[in-house]
Amino acid sequence: MANKSFNLLHFTKDVRVSNHLAWFGSISFATFGGGLMYQKNYNDNGITASAAITCNTRLSIIPNISVAYQFKLFKGNTFLSLGLGGMLWEQINLEKYHKDCLGIEDECYDNEVWKNKNYMHYEPSMYPVISLDIRY
């Protein structure tokens, strides 16, 4: 997964705030979002950490964090990051959904009913960070 937010492939734009901090925006095929990135050495080896909010195509909000070590590859602007990330993944509460909605699924799936009945909840999960960055 990517080092800035939970994604297999995405494009990001950094806006550096200081030598170690940058705000970033990201977009991919199914998500968009942004966050704050810390890098010990922006264009060299070192620890990186990020906190981001990502939205998917259903406009579900997915908060995520990651910590990784960034390795500079070759002499250019290519980096490999290895580490660990965590996120809150939106899940359906199937037990509650089946109890309340058996036989009236269309009504329960209506967005307002869905939100008001709280069929969705967040589950924490962790993922490996294995990221290749090519900076232009």
Q: How far apart are CA 133 and CA 79, in angstroms?
A: 5
The strand pair at 11-16 and 46-56 is best described as: unpaired
Q: Which pLDDT does position 106 carry in this prediction? A: 61
pTM for the model stands at 0.71
* Distance in angstroms (rounded) separating the CA atoms of residues 8 and 70: 17
Does residue 6 surpass a pLDDT of 90? no
Q: What is the pLDDT of residue 101?
A: 67
Q: How many angstroms separate the Cα of 60 from the Cα of each of 30, 53, 136? A: 11, 10, 31
Give residue 98's pLDDT: 65
The mean pLDDT value for 50-77 works out to 84
Dist CA 54 CA 104 (whole Å): 32
Mean pLDDT of 50-79: 85
Whole-number pLDDT of residue 38? 93
Rounded Cα–Cα distance for residues 122 and 128 (Å): 19
Q: How far is CA 30 from CA 6, 10, 54, 59, in A?
A: 11, 9, 10, 10
Residue 56 has pLDDT above 50, yes or no: yes
Cβ pair 62, 88 in contact under 8 A: yes
Q: What is the pLDDT of residues 88-116, one digit of tens each?
A: 877 666 666 666 666 666 665 555 555 55
- Cβ atoms of 88 and 65 within 8 Å: the answer is no
pLDDT of residue 1: 47
